[in-house]
Amino acid sequence: MDPLTTFIDENRARFVDELSAWVRIPSISSDSRRAADVRASAEHLADHLRSFEPSRVEIWPTAGHPAVFAEWSEAPEGAPTLLVYGHHDVQPVDPLGAWTSPPFEPQVRDNRLWGRGVVDDKGQVYIHAKAIESYRRTGTPLPIRLKMIVEGEEEVGSPNLDALMQDHADALSTDFVCVSDTAMFGRGLPSLCVGLRGLAYLEAFVEGPALDLHSGSFGGGVLNPVLELARMLAALHDSQGRVAVPGFYDDVVALTPGERRALQELPFDEAEWLKSTGAPRTWGEAGYSTLERIWARPTLDCCGMAGGFQGEGAKTIIPARASAKIACRLVPNQEPDDIVRKVTEHLTRIARPGVRLRVKSHSGGRPYLSPTDHPIYEVAKRAFSRAFGKPTIFIREGGSIPFVRTIADATGKPCLLMGFGQPDENSHAPNEWLDLDNYHLGIKSAAYLYDEIGRMTSGSEGESG
């Protein structure tokens, strides 16, 4: 047993206690009354990292909540640099009554740590912190240069991350990026996420009469905005579940036969997945499997629609207006602006002159696909499997993580999405939990990752960015 592994095993309980101490700070970034707590959370982390003798640790202010930066730079000349990204802010906790134990009083039950932020993302930040600690306390030289950027605004869309990356481009220069903020495909199944979908989001407003009209006195005289919007929404898909917006698929990079085979080989239990949704059956674009559709094909969904009377019982009106929120999930090489434009043009084309259409675009994000032919992915697989004792699989995520694209674009370097959560960990819901085996093996995975990257010998892989 190497000293690193032994240290991590021997300190398993303490590592949980120390994470719990951090989780007690309610760093809810979306709640302006919690600004002092988010700052306290940054300071708590900086203090903690400081005890592992970094070359540099700083709190970086932003226009919003502060980020923490730390660096360990005594690796031998020519050693590669790894930038670890995480965030120290957390989701809101409503509805509070649904929590079994209070969100900011972390508890261990059933080999899980329960509390807000335990897995998203404080636990995953501490996985790296504890891996670094293990190197320091055992006197093991860090084989690579390590940098950590832990922002405080991920849960509100990272509005200042772009500026941070630009303002601190030198400090953040790296060879590789590791983001630990995602979930594994299944229990104890080491998984590297190699693809994220992007997002284009828009809202359509359809207006007819100036005010709600009596549906008796006026019914049959004017176009009903709710029915017209319904007709327009219905015209966004064809009968095969394909998006019917002209040009929608123009820039989609098709799945290769190899990628389709790899997806097919994953241990995906469709019946179990369907059960988790509660829907009567799966549904989607003809010609693709469920995993292909949710990970690697673009979609168009309506996230909300409203118009007219929504109370109890019967009110007889022709509503003055109706609106719908439309979210498209994008895959490479679709661009959010282009998709918003195409959907808007389509809606404009099909709206009839009995109503007025207005479209508002919300912020979106570009899709991300890892350059999996780069050797870093094999290196990461090796480290992950060494800790978990199982082969590491490539997965994708249907959701969007806009900051991944921000970081990947800003650094221009391969990005590892090496997450230690579980799909059912309630990361944005009440009763968030962290599997303590994942936490423990995650710390080992991180330690082994630094080790394996240090062993990379080829010059092209190791040159400093």
Please report, as residue ranges, which positions from 328 to 387 form the binding site for its own copies (by CB under 8 A). 329, 352-356, 362-363
Give whichever of 54 and 209 is closer to its own copies, judged by the CB atom: 209
Q: Strands 393-397, 191-196: parallel, antiparallel or unpaired by DSSP?
A: parallel
Interface with its own copies in residues 267-296 (CB under 8 A): 273-274, 277-285, 290, 293-294
Angle at 348 between CA 204 and CA 223, to 5 degrees: 75
Residues 226-265 that bind its own copies (CB under 8 A): 226-227, 229-231, 233-237
Closest CA to 69 of 52, 81, 56: 56
Minimum distance between the CB of residue 350 and its own copies, rounded to whole angstroms?
11
Per CB under 8 A, the segment of 56-64, 77-85, 145-153, 391-399 that binds its own copies is 391-399
Q: How far is the CB of 426 from its own copies (least distance, A)?
A: 12
CB nearer its own copies, residue 317 or residue 379: 317
Minimum CB distance to its own copies, residue 352 (Å): 7
Q: How far is the CB of 219 from its own copies (least distance, A)?
A: 4
Site for its own copies in 40-79 (CB under 8 A): none
| 89 classed as catalytic | yes
Strands 415-418 and 176-179: parallel
Q: State the sign of the Cα–Cα–Cα–Cα dihedral 83, 88, 89, 95.
A: positive
Q: Exactly one of 37, 89, 155, 425 is catalytic; name it.
A: 89
Residue 133 contacts residue 19 (beta carbons within 8 Å) = no
Provide the pairing of β-strand 107-109 with 415-418: unpaired
Contact yes or no for 33/14 (Cβ under 8 A) = no
**Least Å from the CB of residue 257 to its own copies:** 20
Q: Which of residues 397-456 bind its own copies (CB under 8 A)?
A: 397-400, 428
**237: DSSP letter:** B
**Could you say which of 154, 212, 432, 451 is catalytic?**
154
Segment near its own copies (CB under 8 A), from 78-86, 210-218, 244-252, 434-442? 210-218
**Sole binder of its own copies in the list 316, 375, 390, 409 (CB under 8 A):** 316
Q: Would you state the structure tokens that stand for residue 390, as one six-digit string?
A: 């199982």
Closer CB to its own copies, 137 or 237, in the complex: 237
Judged by beta carbon, residue 129 or residue 317, the one nearer its own copies is 317
Q: Is 197 in the site for its own copies (CB under 8 A)?
A: yes
How many Cα atoms within 13 Å fall on the side-chain side of residue 280?
0
Nearer to its own copies, 280 or 459 (CB): 280
**Residue 249 DSSP symbol:** T
Judged by CB under 8 A, the residue of 103, 195, 209, 442 near its own copies is: 209
Residue 70: C-alpha distances to residues 53, 148, 150, 169, 444 (Å): 10, 5, 9, 14, 20
* Collapsed DSSP state (helix, strand, coil) of residue 311: coil
Angle 97-100-102 from CA coordinates, rounded to 5°? 75
461 annotated active-site: no
The answer to whether residues 175 and 285 touch, using CB atoms and an 8 Å cutoff, is no
- CB-wise, 164 or 183, nearer to its own copies? 183
Q: Which of 13, 21, 222, 253 binds its own copies (CB under 8 A)?
A: 222
Stretch that binds its own copies, among 50-58, 147-155, 319-327, 457-465 (CB under 8 A): 319-327
Quote the least distance from Cβ 396 to its own copies, whole Å.
11
Identity of the residue numbered 454: G
Q: Do β-strands 81-87 and 176-179 pair in parallel, antiparallel, or remain unpaired?
A: parallel
Q: How many residues bind its own copies (CB under 8 A)?
A: 81
Contact with its own copies (CB under 8 A) among 308, 372, 382, 431: 308
We find the least distance from the C-beta atom of residue 300 to its own copies, in angstroms, to be 8
Classify the C-alpha dihedral 159-164-165-167 as positive or negative.
positive
Query: Strand (E) positions, 16-165?
Result: 56-60, 67-72, 81-87, 107-109, 112-114, 145-151
CB-CB contact of 16 with 436 (8 Å)? yes
Residues tagged active-site: 89, 154
